[in-house]
Structure 1
Amino acid sequence: MDALREAVRTGKLPPGTRLPSSRSLAADLGIARNTVADAYAELVAEGWLTARQGSGTRVAQRAEPPRAESTRATGGAAGRAPLPTVRPRPAHNLMPGSPDLSAFPRAEWLKASRRALTAAPNDSFGYGDPRGRVELRTELAGYLARARGVYADPERIVISAGFVHALKLMGAVLRKRRVREVAVESYGLDVHRRLLTEAGLRIPHLPMDESGARTDDLGGMPGTGAVLLTPAHQFPTGVALHPDRRAAAVDWARRTGGLILEDDYDGDFRYDRQPVGALQGLDPEHVVHLGTTSKSLAPGLRLGWMVLPENLVTEVVETKGISDCSSSALEQLTLAEFIESGAYDRHVRSMRLRYRRRRDQLVADLAERAPKVRVTGIAAGLHAVLELPEGGEASALRAAAWQGLALEGFSRFRHPDAAPGRDALVIGYGAPTDSAWAGALEALCRALPQMP
C-alpha cells in the first residue's frame, strides 16, 4: 500500500490511470485477494484512488504537487547547490522487443531442469563442444524443421548466447572471408548495425516499403557480400518480406556467392494465419538462419542458435571456440528437455493466444478513441506500428511522457543514411504483465487524442 501511495504522490501513476483488478494484482504479487482489496479501499478513503461500478479503480484527479522552484533558483534555503531534477520512472512500459516476462513458465522449466540435471552425462560439466550440447542441437533440428520449415541437421547448428552473440560471430567470419559490405534494412536495431561496423564492415541500406526490403536492389550493390534480413516479421515496420523479394534475395545469393543472414525475429507469433516458413528452406547453402528464445521464452536465458551452410560450420566453430561466451551446458540441456517434453510448443501456443488478444484490443480501442491513428503491419509478433498524421511523432512522444508511458518513435530505428520516413510509434504490447496491460493501453489512448 505504501508503494502505491508513493507512486501516486510522485506522479509515477498519473491521474486517471486504471489499476489492475484486485484479483489480477493479487495473482501477480502472490498474495491474498482480500489484502489487495483492503489496500485499495483504504487508498480510496484517503483520496488517492477512486472506485466506480463498471469503471474499476483509478488514480484520483488531483492538483499537481508543489515544486520548490524558488528554492532551486536561489541555490536552496541555506545557499546550497541546486538539487538535480529527478524524472519519475515511467508508470507503463510499452517498449518494443520484450515478451511478458511474468509469463515465463517457471514450473515447467523447473521440472525440465530437474530432469535434465538428473540425466546429465558427466562430460556436460566440462568445457564442451563449441557447437553446443548435441542434445539441444538434435531437439532444435526437429523443432525448426517442423515449426519453421528449416533444413537443420544437428551438425550444422551452433548454439549462441542470443542473436547479438551470433551476429558478432558472423561479422568476424565475414571479415575473415574478406567481405567488405553487409547490406541491412533501412529500419532496424542500431545495436545490430554497430556490431557489423565494429567488425570492420560497411553497412549500406536497402530501402523498404509495404512489401519489405527491396532485395532486387542487391544486384546494383557490387561491393556487398552479405545481407541481413528479417523476412518473417520485420522489426520495426511489422511487414513480411514479399515472396517475390524472398526469391530475389536467394537468386542474388546464388548468382554472386553472397550470404543471407536471416533474423527470425518473433517468427513463431503469427495471428492471422500459420507462420510463414523460414527463408532458409529455399536455399540452406546460402542462408544462415538465426533464432533465439528471447521472444518465445525470455531474453535472460541467453540461448540462441545458428543454422549454417555446410561450408561455414568449421569457420564459425573455430571463431566461437577462441573465446566462447555461450550459454551454460545445463541451460542447454534444460531447453532440450523442455522442447522434447512438448512444453515449449504448449508455451508458444499459449503466448500466441495472449498476444493476439492484446493486439486485437489495441486495434479496437484505437479505432474507437483515436481514429486518426492507423495500426500497420501484419498481425504478428510482440509490437505494432501506429501511423500518425504528418508531424505527429514528436508530439505523440511528449504526450506519452506526460501519461507516464515508455515507448519508442519510429524514427529511432532509421539507418543514418536512409531518407526520413513516416511519423509513427512502435508499441511493444508484449512487455506489460496481464494486470498492467489495461492501464498501459488506457494511458496510450489518453495520449494519442492530444495530437494535433
Structure 2
Amino acid sequence: MSTTASAFTPSVSAQRADGQAIGYLMQQGIENADCLSLAAGFVDPETLPTALVDKTASRLLSDSETGKLALQYGTTGGSDRVRAVFRDYLARLEGDEDRVHNVPLDQIMLTTGSQQLLALLTEAIFNEGDICLVAAPTYFVYLGVLDGVGAQVIPVKTDDNGMCPDALDAELRRIDELGQLHKVKLVYVVSYHDNPAGISVSNDRRPKLLEVTKRWSQDHPIYLLEDAAYRELHYDGEELPSIWSFDTGYDSGDQQHVVLSQTFSKSFSPGLRVGLSVLPPELVKPISDLKGNQDFGSGHLSQNIVAEVLRTGEYWDHLAGLRTSYRAKRDAMVAAAEEFFSGIDGVTWRTPAGGLYVWMSLPEHIPTGFDSPLFARATEVDKVMYVPGELCYPSGWEDRPRHQMRLSYGVLAAAGIREGMRRLASAVRAVIDSK
C-alpha cells in the first residue's frame, strides 16, 4: 500500500484570500526596506501615547479590583461597564447625548479594530454572488474581504464630494431592471477623509445616500456601512455629522439601515486594536455569534485602557496634539507636491482636509501598478514606495483607472516626506521621458 500523502487543497475561503493586495504590499515593503515609504498606512510612531498608556495601565492595575476586572474575560461585545463609557464618548462626538444614550448597550459592539467588524458584518450578511456597492475608489483591504465571501462588487461614481447619490440610485435601478435587487446587501462608504483619496462625503450628500439606500430596501433591508475610521483626524473646515446621525430608525424604532464603524487605531494606538460599532438590532446576534466563534471577546485590557483615557478626558488632549502633528505633515506633502510635481504635465493631486493620504493622478498613459515601469523605477532606482491606485477599485472592473497613486504622510517625518516626494517625482519624470 502506498504511503504517499495526497496533495493538500486549501478551502475555497483560503483560495480566495490568496494573493490579496495587502499581503503583497507588505511583502514589497520588506523586500524594499531601503526605500522611503509613501505607501505604509501606519500612524506616526512619534505620536503613539507610550507615556499615557503606561500611566493608564499602571493606574488600572494598581487597584486590585479594577485590575482583576481588566485582566479577566469581558463579554463577546464588550462588558456593559466599558461599553457605557464608549457610548458616552460617541455621544460627545455626535453632539447629541439624548439620542446616543437611547441606543441600547447591546447594539454597541467593541471589536479588534474596525477591520474585525468589517469582516464579521460581511460574513453575517453576504452569500456568494450577493452585491455590495462601493465608492470608486475605496479602501482596498475591504475589497479583499468582499472577494473572500464571493461577493459581486460594483463601483459607484465618486467625485470631490464623495459618492454621488444619483449614481448610486442609477446603479440600484440598473440592478433592479436585471432582476438582481434581492442580491444587494450593502452600500459601503468611508465617510471622512477616506482611504485612499482623502475625500469626505459632503454634508448635503450624507442624508441623500441614506435616503437612496432606504428607498431601494424593498423586500429586504439594504444596509449602509459607514466606515468612519478617519473621523477624528480632521484638520480644516467644518466637522460634519455622521451619516448614522440621519438614520431616523434609531429614534423611531423603525428599520435601522446604517452600521457605524469607528476605530481608535488611527486616533490613539493601532497596537491596542480597539474598534467601536453601532449595529441595527437584527444584526447583533448573528455578528455576536460569529465573533464568539473567533474570540468570544476582544482584548479586555486594551478596551479598559481606552475607556479609562476617555473617562478622564486625557484622550481629547492627545487627539488635539495628534491633529496638530498630522496637519503639519499633510502640509509638508502638499508643499512637496507643488515643489516637485507642478512642472510635470498631466499630474494632479487633492489636498485632503484630514486623514493620512494624498491621492495623485498621472497622465493616463502612465500606469502605476506593481508590474509597471514606474513601480520598478521608483523602488529599484529612486528608492521610494507608493500604493498603486488600481488596487482601490474592484479587481473585476475592466475600466478601473491604472494611472493613480495613494501617498501616505503617516509614517515619515516632514523631511522624509519631502525627500520621498522628490524621489517619486524623479521616477515619474524618468518614465514620462522614456515614452
Same fold (TM over 0.5): yes
> Which of 83, 90, 106 is 1:144 aligned to?
90
Alignment CA distance shift 1:189-1:162 (3 Å): same
Look up the match of 1:355.
Answer: 326
Q: How many residues align?
A: 366
Alignment CA distance shift 1:422-1:319 (3 Å): closer
Look up the match of 1:341.
Answer: 312
Provide the rounded CA distance (Å) in 2 between the counterparts of 1:248 and 1:387.
Answer: 28
1:170 correspondence with 2:106: no
Provide the rounded CA distance (Å) in 1 between the counterparts of 2:32 and 2:292.
Answer: 44
Alignment CA distance shift 1:149-1:232 (3 Å): farther
Provide the rounded CA distance (Å) in 2 between the counterparts of 1:313 and 1:261.
Answer: 14
- Amino acid paired to 2:208: A
Provide the rounded CA distance (Å) in 2 between the counterparts of 1:383 and 1:274.
Answer: 19
Q: Structure 1 residue 422: deviation in Å?
A: 6.2
Asked whether the equivalents of residues 182 and 224 of structure 1 are also in contact (C-alpha less than 8 Å), the reply is yes
Provide the rounded CA distance (Å) in 2 between the counterparts of 1:409 and 1:88.
Answer: 15
Moved more, 115-124 or 254-263: 115-124
Q: Structure 1 residue 393: deviation in Å?
A: 4.2
Asked whether the equivalents of residues 148 and 276 of structure 1 are also in contact (C-alpha less than 8 Å), the reply is no
Look up the match of 2:141.
Answer: 191
Provide the rounded CA distance (Å) in 2 between the counterparts of 1:302 and 1:94.
Answer: 23
Name stretches of at least 5 consecutive residues in structure 2 with no aligned partner: 1-29, 176-180, 251-255
Look up the match of 1:155.
Answer: 106
1:98 correspondence with 2:42: yes
SS of 1:369's partner is helix
> Which of 232, 256, 266 is 2:192 aligned to?
232
Asked whether the equivalents of residues 95 and 431 of structure 1 are also in contact (C-alpha less than 8 Å), the reply is no
1:415 correspondence with 2:359: no
- Amino acid paired to 1:279: I
- Amino acid paired to 2:412: P
Look up the match of 2:230.
Answer: 266
Alignment CA distance shift 1:149-1:388 (3 Å): farther
Provide the rounded CA distance (Å) in 2 between the counterparts of 1:400 and 1:354.
Answer: 27
1:397 correspondence with 2:407: no
Name stretches of at least 5 consecutive residues in structure 1 with no aligned partner: 1-85
- Amino acid paired to 2:157: P
Alignment CA distance shift 1:181-1:379 (3 Å): same
**TM-score, normalised on structure 1?**
0.73
Provide the rounded CA distance (Å) in 2 between the counterparts of 1:159 and 1:269.
Answer: 20
Asked whether the equivalents of residues 163 and 291 of structure 1 are also in contact (C-alpha less than 8 Å), the reply is yes
Asked whether the equivalents of residues 83 and 110 of structure 2 are also in contact (C-alpha less than 8 Å), the reply is yes
Asked whether the equivalents of residues 156 and 308 of structure 1 are also in contact (C-alpha less than 8 Å), the reply is yes
Look up the match of 1:219.
Answer: 172
Alignment CA distance shift 1:191-1:353 (3 Å): same
> Which of 407, 411, 416 is 1:431 aligned to?
411
Provide the rounded CA distance (Å) in 1 between the counterparts of 2:150 and 2:298.
Answer: 26
Look up the match of 1:116.
Answer: 60
- Amino acid paired to 1:198: G
Alignment CA distance shift 1:272-1:225 (3 Å): same
Alignment CA distance shift 1:403-1:170 (3 Å): same
What do the CA deviations read for 1:248-269 (whole angstroms, capped 9, x no partner)? 3211333313211111131111
- Amino acid paired to 1:229: V
SS of 2:152's partner is coil
Provide the rounded CA distance (Å) in 2 between the counterparts of 1:168 and 1:440.
Answer: 33
SS of 1:381's partner is coil
SS of 1:392's partner is coil
Q: Structure 1 residue 127: deviation in Å?
A: 3.1
SS of 2:52's partner is helix
Alignment CA distance shift 1:334-1:87 (3 Å): closer
Q: Structure 1 residue 135: deviation in Å?
A: 3.6
Question: Which has more radius of gyration?
Answer: 1
Asked whether the equivalents of residues 370 and 445 of structure 1 are also in contact (C-alpha less than 8 Å), the reply is yes
1:322 correspondence with 2:290: no
Alignment CA distance shift 1:272-1:125 (3 Å): closer
SS of 1:311's partner is helix
Provide the rounded CA distance (Å) in 2 between the counterparts of 1:376 and 1:437.
Answer: 16
SS of 2:153's partner is coil
**TM-score, normalised on structure 2?**
0.76
Q: Structure 1 residue 185: deviation in Å?
A: 2.4
What do the CA deviations read for 1:21-42 (whole angstroms, capped 9, x no partner)? xxxxxxxxxxxxxxxxxxxxxx
- Amino acid paired to 1:137: R
Q: Structure 1 residue 280: deviation in Å?
A: 0.7
Asked whether the equivalents of residues 198 and 356 of structure 2 are also in contact (C-alpha less than 8 Å), the reply is no
> Which of 246, 254, 258 is 2:214 aligned to?
254
Provide the rounded CA distance (Å) in 1 between the counterparts of 2:170 and 2:240.
Answer: 23
Provide the rounded CA distance (Å) in 1 between the counterparts of 2:130 and 2:390.
Answer: 27
- Amino acid paired to 1:365: A
Alignment CA distance shift 1:88-1:267 (3 Å): closer
Provide the rounded CA distance (Å) in 2 between the counterparts of 1:156 and 1:229.
Answer: 20
Asked whether the equivalents of residues 226 and 261 of structure 1 are also in contact (C-alpha less than 8 Å), the reply is yes
Root mean square deviation, CA, Å: 2.7
Alignment CA distance shift 1:96-1:278 (3 Å): farther
